[in-house]
Amino acid sequence: MNPLLLALHLAACVPAQNDGPINPWARPIRLPAMDRPTLVAVELDGHAFRFAKPDQSDIRVKTAFGAPESMLVRRPVQSRTRLVPQEFQADTVSAGPAAAGAFSLVIRLRPGQPRPNSLRLVTPLRDFEKRVLVEGLGSDGKAATLAEGVIADYSSLADFRADSIPFDPGLYRQFRVTIDTPTDRQESAIRELVRRAGKPLSERLQATTRPFRVDRVEFSGLNEVSDSEPAQWDRVPPPEWTVVQDAARRETLFQFDTGLRPLVGLELTGAEGNFRRSVRLEVPEKVRGATLWKTVASGVFSRLALQGDTQESTRLTFPESRHGTMRLVVSNLDSPPIQATGLRMLAARVEILFMANPGQDYRLEYGDPRARAPAFDTSGIDAALAFGTTPTRVTLGQPVPGAQPDMPAPIEDTTDYPTPETGPMSHPGASLNQFFNPWVFGVVLLVLGALLLVSLAQAVARLDGGKPEGLKDQQPELKDGGE
């Protein structure tokens, strides 16, 4: 037998390793110019939602040679920065007497602390009034006046206390706080009457000198906090929808095709007139061979337009749900049906993250209903996200059945998508991937090597005019009687 035919026959007998789903759809991923590996995010569109599995377990990102890339499926998130009020304490560098009998403290902000917009002198004392000067100290020791104000407490007269001084710190990180009179003379509220023999009645007040104690200095400022939250939904029209008036039940039925998008809400658009109607959202459910409609959400739609002012609430939100067909039921009672021009679905977003290498082409594949969920090593993607890397947003090209990167004729992206074949040969790289299966390729190499050695031995034997001596010596001798 021909050695090559024998090798191919043996390779066909070896079971091929399952290298992934056989997806009938492929989409080129449009990447920008890159000079280094980049974390990219591609968002699924209507075609992907319609033909991919609901759990996205069939989706794969592959290179131009059909090699799968590690990827992560997630809901898109958007970053936001908020200003959060924060109180904090700085380091006291020095404290001591100042000119004209005043008292001063030098305070330095710690690394990472935000810019303050006010300071507060925390003291346990009551009934005081002090003038405070706030200065900024530069690296050269020069001082610049930032604010001057009065802190006071009038507890004996009224429930009033003001112990904060607002100021603009500019670029200063070190400040000097000066209190004009660190001690004050406080008279007692009790008058003492003194009567002495031969002298008129007199009054005497007791006065004490009280130091102004400062426990600490607190700053207040706005700290920037960055966090992320799930991205908002997309408002998309349903691919198809119809309106049916059920006169017997006095209801209006808006039945629509969702395109298998994951929905989180529904809007009624173009409504006219004044109304307030109960609504419910229903999905079909098979029960003992019959199709019944099951309610998954309910609410109230209303619209009130009076004297040029319009208040409208025609949105119904619900937990994420994915069904091929839904219907919105509006209860009319004995009133005329609501006049509306359309529906808008609030569809959740889903994106695919992967690390793209410069100079490499990628495609997104999906559509195999028998696919199993992959188990990729996403440590690189997770690390990039943990470091705060913002993925580069990319888009998908036109869907192509059984697409190869060098196939130039994509189909048009319309709502009426053609249904591709799902047999084994519809996979864009099925035969190629099977040939490069490591088990099959290894067996082929071993068989070809053995056949090559046998062919070389036969060729040497013909050149010597017979079989090699080593082969002759190995022939068994026949005994008498044929034994």
pLDDT, tens digit (0-9, with 9 covering 90-100), for 55-81? 889 999 999 888 999 999 988 866 677
Query: Would you call 136 exposed, middle or buried from its count of C-beta atoms within 10 A (0-12, 13-18, 19+)?
Result: buried
The predicted model scores a pTM of 0.53
293 near 282, Cβ under 8 Å? yes
pLDDT, tens digit (0-9, with 9 covering 90-100), for 386-426? 888 889 999 999 988 754 443 333 334 444 444 444 333 33
Q: Tell me the β-bridge partners of 152.
A: 129, 162
**250-259 as b/e: b if 16+ CB within 10 A:** ebbbbbbbbb
Q: Give the model's pLDDT for residue 188.
A: 53
Rounded to a whole number of angstroms, the CA Rg of the chain reads 42
Q: Give the model's pLDDT for residue 338.
A: 87
Q: Give the model's pLDDT for residue 75.
A: 84
Phi and psi torsions of 479, nearest 5°: -90, 170
- Which H/E stretch holds residue 379? helix 379-386
Q: Give the model's pLDDT for residue 451.
A: 81
Phi and psi torsions of 424, nearest 5°: -65, -30
> Tokens 């992959």 correspond to what residue?
374
Which residue positions in the chain have pLDDT lower than 50?
1-18, 403-436, 467-468, 470-476, 478-483
Q: Give the model's pLDDT for residue 414.
A: 44
Q: Give the model's pLDDT for residue 408.
A: 36
Which domains can be identified in the chain, with CATH numbers?
Answer: 1-15+437-471 (no CATH), 18-73+360-408 (no CATH), 84-225 (2.60.120), 237-347 (2.60.120.260)
